[in-house]
Each structure stands twice: as C-alpha cells, then as structure tokens.
C-alpha cells in the first residue's frame, strides 16, 4: 500500500530536532515547546496517513517537516494575550481591551511596579496607611465629590454599593433602565446577588415621578438610576430626571445613586458627539453616589470609581466585601497618572488615547487614510486593491450608542481572496489585524490606529497580495 511505504518515510523526532530550522529557534523558544511542536507535526502526519487521507510525499521531506515544526513551535511560544491592531473604529472596544493608556500612565505603571511603593504606608506617620488615599484626593478635586473610593471595576462598584446600602431592602429602579450591559452584566441579577430587593416601576418606555413615589415603603433603601448604555429608546419615551429623583429622595429621606456606566469627566458635544451628563453634573444634580468605569470614556485602566457623600462612601469602604473587590497597585498607579492629565482638559484631550481618538478632526482622518493608501499603492502589487471612502466610527463601551462620528475608511481587496478569507487572514496574522466587514467589503477604519499599526497593515497586505499562492 502507498500509505505503508509513505509511513516508513516519516522522519524520526531526533532527525527533525537536529535540523537547522529548529536549532535556530533554540535561543527564543524553550526546548520543551520545540519538542512538543515536532511531535505534534509528526503525529498529525501519522494520523492522516493512517486515516488514508491524502498526504503528499513532499510533506514528509525532512526540510518540510522541520519548517512546519518551527512554525508550530513559534505559535506555541507566543503569549496568549497579545497586541492586536484595532481597525474597527470602535474606540472603547470591550473585546479588544477597551481604553489604551496614556504614555504617562504606562510609565507610572512600570515605575511603580519595579520598585516598592507607599501603597499602604503613610510616609508622614511612619505607619500603615490606606491604598485609597492615592486617588481619592484627585478624584475629589476634579469632580467636587465629598469622598471617593475605587474598586476592581464598575460591576464591583455597583455591587458593593447595593450590598452596603440596601441589602434586605427595596431599591426602586425605572423598568426602562433594567438593562443588560454586554458580557452578562444585568442590573436585576447584580441586584439579586447583592441581597437588595428590586422594585421596578413604570413601563418600558415611560416612567413618571409618581411611579417612584407610589412604590416607596418603609422598607425602601435606595433610589437608583442606571445609564442605559448600549441601548437607546427613541420616540414616545420619558424617564424621571435625576433632579426629580433628588426631590423625591429628599422628601422621603432616601439615598440616591446613579450608575453612570461610562462616566465621562468631559462633555464631548463640542466635538459633535452626544450630550451626556458628566460625572461632575450628576453629582451637582444631586446624586448621593455615582459609579462608573475607569476604562470606558475616562480612558484609564479597568477600575470602578465610586464618588459621593462621605458618610455613604465610608460605609462602602468598611464593608468586608470591599476587600474582595479591591483595586490593585498596577491599576492605582495608572489611574492616578490618568487623572492627573485631567487637571488640564486640553492636555487630557491630547494625551489620553480614548479622548484623542474620539475628538480627531475629519480632515486629519482623511489625511491619514490617504497616506496609508499611498503606501499600499506604492507596493505596486497588481493583486492588491485599495480605495478610501467616508464612513462612521463608534464610541463603544456602551457609551453613546447612537453616536456615529464621521471617519475615513480604507477599502481593501486582494485578488484571489474572498473578503471573508482576507478578514480571516488579517485576523490570524502577527500582529492580528481586526478589520470590519460591511456589505461584503473589507474596511479598515483609521480612527483607532496607533503607533506602528500602519506598518503592520502594510506588511500584512504585502504578504497576502504578494504571495504566489495566497494563504
Ligand atoms: C459598563 C457598565 C457597567 C459595568 O462596568 P465594568 O467596568 O465593565 O464592570 C455597569 N453599568 C453600566 C451602566 C455600564 O455601562
């Protein structure tokens, strides 16, 4: 049988290991992974031979096997969590790591994690201190809040607040705000886990102040407003404003909390984005407690920021659960450095990538797309098609779901490759390039490109359109 004779030609592990292709890897890939790669490639060939699947005799050549094993070894050695090129134009892309950190924040993070720090040490007193003081001061300064606390993320912030203030008691929320925020964060579920009792009022599209008032009992613990995030109700629609909720809270002596979700310190409407209440405004309008994410519109690291009345914040801080949800020092370092940039709003807009990307002028995006298109055309690859056109980006992170800032898109095609294959090849490359597929077209939005992303795109397309046989 042909397979029998081919089987005899399958190289031995040691023969493959001795090849230059693998010896060259020894400096960069740990030996156990090289060995594992060789075994995987040989097992695959053996399996295919046994199953009678067509194996070309060339595939058994020593050089060929060693080449395949080297590629496999490099893959095994690659970290799982890797840099990718975000060409989707979704700025706060939760699947791609949300916000990029400002240079200052990256520097601080590295500095403070190479050395010991005063994380929980009061230098003036020479005694144990609190990790929360490092950002509480600047948060109060920037927002006018009485007190501040930070935890692991906003889900934790909401959970800790409900658990501390309303376990066993009723929390009144408008039905139109009982939302699910991607990745399985559902307000009703979080509330149930916290021990608070959900009391929903109003209808999906309309809630009136009297709905809140009618629902208040002696067991009411909190009035809650939730930002509907990734979801927008248009048309016949009415919510009770924070100001109206404040009046009711005052009348019945109840605390009022708002989960802002993205929570921005900046009003983006001058840049053509939606007018959303800022964190400062929510506090000024009377929220006793507001919570928001550190890595959405704030543009910092993953964190949950809680601001508000000192007496309430103290109850949260003292809750034993806080220890389980606590923020780590990497985050604190990056968060403090990010917040410092907000002391000069113009500086924040220039240096915090999330803010910079959201406010980029169209002309700049246009120039950038044109420059990238020129570089691709200069490759003079007949199979590569490149054009630019107008399109729209998205904010992402559940913020401003209806906002669609105008952007410039590169439309790319490679002859002999379908757009779905092209999308996949870019995604599986190194670094992976995440593009947009729209109406059968492959689009790259330049708004979210950073650093040497252009270089990565040029290299990847040169390879795909230059290869004699497309991979
Ligand atoms: C994003 C979001 C959350 C969850 O925040 P994480 O920081 O992802 O934990 C909670 N509530 C609202 C309204 C949100 O938009």
469: in domain: no
Ligand 1 centroid to Cα of residue 148, in Å, is 18
Ligand 1 centroid to Cα of residue 69, in Å, is 44
One domain, residues 341 and 368: no
| Cβ of 88 less than 6 Å from ligand 1 | no
Q: Which pLDDT does position 74 carry in this prediction?
A: 94
What is the distance between the alpha carbons of residues 74 and 390, in angstroms, rounded to a whole number? 39
Q: Which residues of the chain have pLDDT under 50?
A: 468-471
| Cβ of 153 less than 6 Å from ligand 1 | yes
What is the distance between the alpha carbons of residues 27 and 128, in angstroms, rounded to a whole number? 45
Ligand 1 centroid to Cα of residue 268, in Å, is 19
Ligand 1 centroid to Cα of residue 178, in Å, is 13
Q: Which pLDDT does position 179 carry in this prediction?
A: 78
277: in domain: yes
One domain, residues 144 and 119: yes
Report which protein residue has its CA nearest ligand 1's atom 7: 154
- Mutating to test ligand 1, I would choose from 191, 398, 400 the residue with most ligand atoms within 8 A of its C-beta, which is 398
Question: Which among 310, 331, 351 is the end of a domain?
Answer: 351
9: in domain: yes
One domain, residues 442 and 396: yes
322: in domain: yes
Report which protein residue has its CA nearest ligand 1's atom 11: 261
CATH code, domain with 193: 3.40.640.10
Question: Which among 300, 324, 351 is the end of a domain?
Answer: 351
One domain, residues 6 and 58: yes
Closest atom of ligand 1 to 228 CA is 13
347: in domain: yes
Q: Which pLDDT does position 468 carry in this prediction?
A: 47
Domains in the chain, number: 3
Report which protein residue has its CA nearest ligand 1's atom 15: 261
Contact of 308 with 111, CB cutoff 8 Å? no
Residue range of the domain that includes 51:
2-77
One domain, residues 145 and 178: yes
- Mutating to test ligand 1, I would choose from 155, 179, 186, 228 the residue with most ligand atoms within 8 A of its C-beta, which is 155
Tens-digit pLDDT profile for residues 350-379: 999 999 999 999 999 999 999 999 999 999
CATH code, domain with 412: 3.90.1150.110
Ligand 1 centroid to Cα of residue 293, in Å, is 6
| Cβ of 300 less than 6 Å from ligand 1 | no
Ligand 1 centroid to Cα of residue 435, in Å, is 25
One domain, residues 338 and 231: yes
One domain, residues 69 and 161: no
One domain, residues 323 and 428: no
Q: Which pLDDT does position 467 carry in this prediction?
A: 62
Question: Which among 77, 111, 139 is the end of a domain?
Answer: 77
344 contact partners, CB below 8 Å, separation of at least 6? none
Contact of 325 with 429, CB cutoff 8 Å? no
Angle, alpha carbons 160-161-165 (nearest 5°): 115
Q: Which pLDDT does position 183 carry in this prediction?
A: 65
| Cβ of 98 less than 6 Å from ligand 1 | no
Report which protein residue has its CA nearest ligand 1's atom 5: 154
| Cβ of 264 less than 6 Å from ligand 1 | no
470: in domain: no
One domain, residues 235 and 375: no
Q: Which pLDDT does position 237 carry in this prediction?
A: 83
150: in domain: yes
Ligand 1 centroid to Cα of residue 155, in Å, is 6
One domain, residues 302 and 166: yes
Q: Which pLDDT does position 1 carry in this prediction?
A: 55
Q: Which pLDDT does position 221 carry in this prediction?
A: 97
One domain, residues 111 and 170: yes
Report which protein residue has its CA nearest ligand 1's atom 12: 261
Q: Which pLDDT does position 2 carry in this prediction?
A: 56
| Cβ of 261 less than 6 Å from ligand 1 | yes
Closest atom of ligand 1 to 230 CA is 15
| Cβ of 293 less than 6 Å from ligand 1 | yes
One domain, residues 180 and 59: no
Q: Which pLDDT does position 3 carry in this prediction?
A: 64
| Cβ of 226 less than 6 Å from ligand 1 | yes
115: in domain: yes
């Amino acid at each position: 049988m042909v397979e029998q004779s081919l089987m005899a030609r399958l190289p031995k592990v040691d023969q493959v290991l001795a090849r230059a292709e693998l010896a060259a890897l020894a400096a960069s890939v740990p030996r156990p992974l090289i060995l594992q790669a060789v075994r995987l490639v040989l097992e695959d060939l053996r399996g295919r031979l046994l199953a009678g699947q067509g194996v070309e005799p060339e595939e058994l050549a020593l050089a060929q096997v060693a080449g395949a094993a080297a590629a496999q070894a490099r893959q095994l050695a690659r970290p799982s969590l890797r840099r990718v090129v975000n060409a989707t134009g979704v700025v706060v892309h939760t699947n791609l790591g949300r916000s990029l950190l400002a240079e200052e924040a990256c520097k601080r993070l590295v500095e403070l994690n190479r050395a010991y720090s005063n994380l929980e040490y009061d230098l003036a007193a020479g005694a144990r201190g609190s990790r929360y003081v490092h950002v509480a001061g600047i948060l109060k300064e920037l927002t006018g809040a009485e007190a501040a606390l930070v935890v692991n993320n906003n889900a934790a912030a909401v959970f800790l607040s409900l658990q501390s203030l309303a376990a066993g008691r009723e929390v009144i929320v408008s039905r139109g705000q009982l939302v699910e925020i991607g990745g399985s964060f559902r307000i009703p579920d979080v509330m149930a886990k916290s021990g608070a009792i959900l009391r929903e009022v109003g209808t999906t599209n309309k809630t009136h102040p009297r709905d809140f008032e009618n629902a208040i009992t002696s067991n009411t613990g909190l009035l809650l407003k939730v930002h509907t995030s990734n979801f927008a109700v248009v048309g016949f629609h009415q919510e009770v404003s924070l100001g109206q909720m404040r009046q009711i809270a005052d009348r019945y002596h109840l605390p009022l909390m708002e989960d802002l979700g993205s929570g921005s310190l900046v009003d983006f409407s001058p840049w053509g984005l939606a007018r959303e209440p800022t964190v400062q405004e929510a506090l000024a309008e009377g929220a006793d407690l507001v919570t928001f994410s550190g890595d959405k519109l704030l543009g910092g690291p993953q964190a949950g920021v809680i601001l508000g009345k000192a007496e309430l914040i103290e109850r949260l801080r003292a809750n034993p659960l806080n220890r389980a949800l606590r923020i780590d020092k990497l985050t604190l370092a990056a968060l403090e450095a990010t917040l410092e940039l907000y002391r000069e709003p113009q500086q924040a807009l220039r240096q915090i990538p999330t803010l910079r990307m959201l406010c980029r002028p169209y002309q700049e995006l246009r120039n950038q797309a044109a420059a990238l298109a020129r570089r691709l055309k200069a490759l003079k690859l007949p199979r590569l098609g490149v054009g630019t056109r107008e399109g729209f980006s998205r904010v992402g992170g559940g913020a401003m779901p209806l906002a669609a800032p105008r952007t410039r898109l590169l439309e790319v095609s490679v002859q002999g490759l379908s757009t779905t294959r092209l999308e996949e090849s870019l995604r599986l490359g190194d670094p992976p390039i995440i593009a947009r597929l729209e109406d059968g077209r492959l689009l790259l939005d330049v708004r979210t490109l950073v650093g040497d992303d252009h270089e990565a795109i040029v290299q990847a397309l040169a390879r795909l359109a230059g290869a004699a046989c497309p991979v």
